[in-house]
Each structure stands twice: as structure tokens, then as C-alpha cells.
Amino acid sequence: MSARLKPITRRDLPALALVLLVAAWLRLGEPGIVEFLHDEAMLSLLAQDLAEGRSFPLTGIPSSVGIPNPPISAYIMAIPFSLSPDPAVATLFVAALNVAGVGLLWLLARRWLGGRAALAAGLIYAANPWAVYYSRKIWAQDFQTPFLLLALLLGLRGFVEGKRWAQALFLPALFIALQIHFAAWALLPLAVWLIGHGRRRLAGRALLAGLLLAGATIAPFAAGLAQTLAADPGRLSRALSRSSAGLSLTPDALLYTARLATGLGLETWLAPANQAELLATAPPPAPLWALLGGLMLAGTLRLLASPALRWFGVFAVLWALLPALVFSPAWTPVYPHYFIVVLPALGLLGGAGAAWLAERLTGRGIGRALLPAALVWILLIQAGWWQNTLHYLDTTFTPGGFGTPLHYLESVRQAVSPERDVLVITDGIEILYDQEPAAWSALLRGSAACVRALTGDGRAVFPEGRFAVLVAPNAPPDPVGGLYTAPAEQVFALRPGEGVYRLNRFERAPAWPGPPLAALPPARFEGGAALTGYALAEGRLYLEWRLSGALAGDFHYFAHFLNAAGDKLDQRDDLLWPGRYGCPGDRLITWTEAAAPPETTTLRVGLYTLANGGFVNAPASDEAGSPLGTGVDIPIKAG
């Protein structure tokens, strides 16, 4: 290795092809054995809305620290979703991006460290099980590194080689990468160091243009964050107080960095309850894989010891260690995916170590072939272990670990897709928090016109025409009194022990099995719901609603029990229906535990939404359009 730039020639193409082939085999292979969990579904929904022109998001999905993520991930994922609403297509897009990312690492190493280092670095990164796992699904963290690699390559071209166009593009590319997941902000000092290292080659106009372009990339999020804080001024302070509480040092960041360096420890994340069983199927040779860490240490020492390459060694070491330094103080819970961005740097250091040792062994007989053979053997074992692990994850339920592989859900999706109207019976209806509502809203995009979720109690919905009911494995037993659980037409088994999906089809809505409902003159609330009936029976208050389509928000209803003087004796509040679940012609019945106090003469019912930290009531009107105020008064006689 020398300090001079290494021009790329045709002789390099076979090495690049090999690196890309390995990366593609492990990332694009078995595309159905990927997770599609809540975060993936929520990001898909944002991207699908954008691709279809329904909305232009200014914030992304909520982050673990309580602040919304930037929307840049949705903008990127809108590209595959503009081609197809099927998440399986989007997962291949993510994998392809990461194959390109492996190629970018090879290019960076080839240009600065030479062909041997580039080949070793590319293969180490391509075969690392952690790198493969974090490159295959619709998750913002899984497609961050290709953009980071592009930004750093531009930075080297701009501030080391003096290319003005690269200086202008460095900051916008970097800020796109930084917005994909907040953990990458730990690398901001690396960008500052890179600009400082190239200060003699700085072009003021190019850097100014880069700053302006970087500002443009972050402008949508700045506007969205301002809106979020205006609606909830205490959100930022609450997030900061949670982060600063009990600040202490933790070894987790260094542990995760070491695991990512060697490829070891992935079973702790994929199968926390099945670790021993997974390892028994193909135990990774830990001492052999640990040699990769030794190779990276050798590369670090070699680069830092060389006067000509010391600057590059500082660059690579900062890249590899900054996230561990930032997250060792436990200001927030630490997870392995916070360190995805260091995987290419670790491969780079390993490639430098391999090239240096290869130079030392040149001309020494069998030793000359021993090092590359050993490295290839280790990487083949890692690739084989990953393939074995994929088979295990595809056939074994891993509680708290790897989720249901996407191809199982795709089989269900294909069976449900002819239906335009779908109910999903599950254990929660909040699309922001619950897995099944989010997943099936995204999976059935492009086929079903209306998808809603129901739990076992509190609400029943009666579509206007034909509809399908999908009962999820986590649905409560006998939900809604068996209203939607006729003998299943189709049963879809998941991994053993994970349960089944059951699909039923109804030509028309079943009859309401509850107490008779007294009809009311329809009171239409602004936002899409009309109150049409009620009942007080069995210690419950039942309310009947008609929906004209998607609701203007996530409405809650209130029920006040009033005496003759208008005094409130008691009240009940509950969620009416998530806004996106509103479908034309739906009859919705809600119920809650309630008994009218003896002095009750009037039941007042209304709707409201939560906004700006308060309540916003929905005005009501009668069939003629005359205003009724913010509540509908129903004369009743208690007891």
C-alpha cells in the first residue's frame, strides 16, 4: 500500500464482479425470508401515500427517543412503491441498494489502498452476517450505509483530491444519510475532520453551495418538526429528560462493535429465546471468526504507523469508533442497529490488514497462499452459516426475535387480494402501535379498497356489501362473540408454534347479536360519522354510527349523563374509530361499560379529536343541515 491514488483499470473488473456477486447472493437471495414488522409497515404506508400522491410527509415514523424521524426514508422508499405497492418489491430494492453499497466500499478501498485491500474489504463486508442481516428489509437503518458510503466517497474526492464538484455534493449527500437514522449523527465529527483535513483545497463557493443544498435536504423535516413541537411543545423536553436521566457508562456499545466486527453474536438478536438451538444447527467457529477482528487491528496499526497513510488511518478509525464513543454514555438505550454505519469501516480496516500481511508474505512459498485461503475459508463459513440461519428462521418460531418471514404473509396477501373490503381481527387497532393493523394496511395496498382492524370487544363493524375477515394469530379467542368466526374457508399456517391466519368471506354483514338499538334521527358530525342509534342494556352503553368514508381524524366519543338541571352526573370517553378505517356505508357499533345514574334525564353524545394538547369538538347537524351544537341530547329514563 502507498499514499498514491490507485487508478481503476479493466484488470480490476473481475475483482469487483466477485465482490458484487457475493453481496448479491447473500442479500438478494431468499427475498421472502425477511421481516415485515411494525416499523417496516409504517414506513411502507408513508412511502405508499407519497408514491400515490395522497400526501407529502414532513416527518417520518416516530423514533425510540420520542422525536419523529425525518421523512427522507419515505422519500427514498417511494421509488420502489411507485413501481408496485407490493412490499416484496421494495425489499428487493433495499437489498439492491446494499449490493451497490458493497461496490462503493470496494471503490473507496481500491482508490486509496489498492486492489488487494479492496478485494479483501469488499468480501469481508459482503459476507459479514450482521451486514447481510441489516441490508434486506424495509427499515430505514437497512439502507443508510449506501448513502453514507456515497457521501464519504464524495468527501474524499472533494477534500483530499480537491474536486470542487465533489465538495459541493458532499454535504447534501451526507445530510441525506444522516437523516435516515439519527444514530449516524455520531459520525458528524468525521465530516468535520474530513473538511479540516482538506482545508488547503477548500473551494469557498463549492462549500457554500453544499451548505445550501444540505439545508434544502433538511428543510422538510425542519418544517415538520416545527409543526410537531407547535402541536406538542413539551415533546422535545420530555425526550431530553428521558435521555439525561441516570446517565452512566455502558460497555454495550463496544460489545456491539466487536460483534459486528467478527460476525459473532447475531443469534442473540435473531433468536434470543432459541440461541442454543440455533447455534446447535451450525455452530460458528468463534476463534476463527475472531481472527477477523485481529485482521482489523492489524490494518489499524499498519495505517496509523505509515506516515503516508496515517491520515487515512485516522479517517477509518474515527469512522469505526465514533458511534461507540458517542453511545457508551448511556443517554439512551443502545441497540446493535445503532452501529450499522461502522460495518463498512470495519471491512476497510480488515482489508488494509489483509493487504499488509499479503505484502509481508509475498515470495514466502506456502505462506503466500495461506493468508488468502484462510480469509476465503472464514468468509465461506460465514456465508454458509447465514444460509443455515435463514433456513432455521424460516422454519422455527423465534419469540422476541426474527419476525414472521414475509413470504408467509405474501401467501395470505395473495389469497385476500381479490377482496376489496377486509376486516383484520387482532389484539389491537392502533395503527401507530399495533403490528397487524399496520402490516395489513401496507400489504393490501393496491388491492383492498378498505382495510380495518378489530379487537375482541368494544366495537363491531358491518360493511355494506361483500367483505373478507382475516383472523390473525394474536386475535383473542371468540372475538366479538364469534360474530366473524364462521368456519374458516382457508387456513394459513405459519412457523410451527407461531399460529395460523384464518380467512373467512361474507357475502353480507352478519346480524347484530346484541341488544336491540333504539333508532335516532341521524345526527351528522363534521368529519364523516353520523349517530343513528343507541341502547342502555346489560350494564353497557351501545352507540350506533354510520360512516360516509374516511374520517377527518381519529375521533373519540363522549357520553355525558345529565340530570334535569343539566348537571353532569357521570361520563364515558373512548376511541370511536381510527380515521383511516372509515369506509363508505359502514355501520359501526361501539359499546362501553356504563349505567345511567338514577337522576339521569339526558344522554349527551359527541365527538372530539386530540390536537395541540387539547380537545377539539366536532360540530353536529341534523338531516336538514341545522346545527345541533357539539353534542346530541337524547332523552332517557334511567333504571
**Per-residue pLDDT tens digits for 389-430:** 999 999 999 999 999 999 999 999 999 999 999 999 999 999
**Helix (H), strand (E) counts: the chain:** 20, 17
pLDDT for 71 beyond 70: yes
| pLDDT in the model for residue 1 | 47
* Distance (Å, whole) CA 270 – CA 260: 14
The whole-number average pLDDT for the span 135-156 is 97
- Look at phi and psi of residue 629 and say left if phi exceeds 0, alpha if psi is from -120 to 50, else beta: left
* 479-489 residue pLDDT tens: 888 888 777 78
pLDDT digits (tens, 9 = 90+) for 518-532: 999 999 999 889 999
By 3-state DSSP, what share of the chain in percent is helix, strand and coil, each rounded to 5? 50, 15, 30
**Better pLDDT: 613 or 7:** 7
Residues 6 or more apart whose Cβ sits within 8 Å of residue 352: 1, 109, 113, 117, 121, 298, 299, 300, 302, 303, 313, 316
The sheet that has 450-454: what strands, in order across it? 450-454, 421-425, 467-471, 500-506, 490-493
pLDDT > 80? residue 558: yes
Per-residue pLDDT band for 347 (boundaries 50, 70, 90) equals very high
Q: Give the integer Cα–Cα distance in Å for 620 and 465.
A: 27
Query: Does 219 score more than 50 pLDDT?
Result: yes
Residue 2 has what pLDDT?
43
Q: Max CA-CA distance within the chain?
A: 103
pLDDT in tens, 229-247: 777 666 666 665 655 545 6
SS3 540: strand
> Is it the case that residue 364 has pLDDT exceeding 80?
no
pLDDT category at 621 given cuts 50, 70, 90 is very high
Query: Do residues 452 and 423 make contact, with C-beta atoms less than 8 angstroms apart?
Result: yes
Phi then psi for residue 506, to 5 deg, are -125, 130
CA angle 480-485-486, nearest 5°? Answer: 140
Burial class (CB in 10 A: 0-12, 13-18, 19+), 418: exposed
Q: What does DSSP say about strands 500-506 and 627-629: parallel, antiparallel, or unpaired?
A: unpaired
Mean pLDDT of 19-33: 97
Taking residues 279-307, report their average pLDDT. Answer: 93
| Pairing relationship of beta strands 568-577 and 450-454 according to DSSP bridges | unpaired
468 touches 423 (CB < 8 A): yes
pLDDT at 366: 66
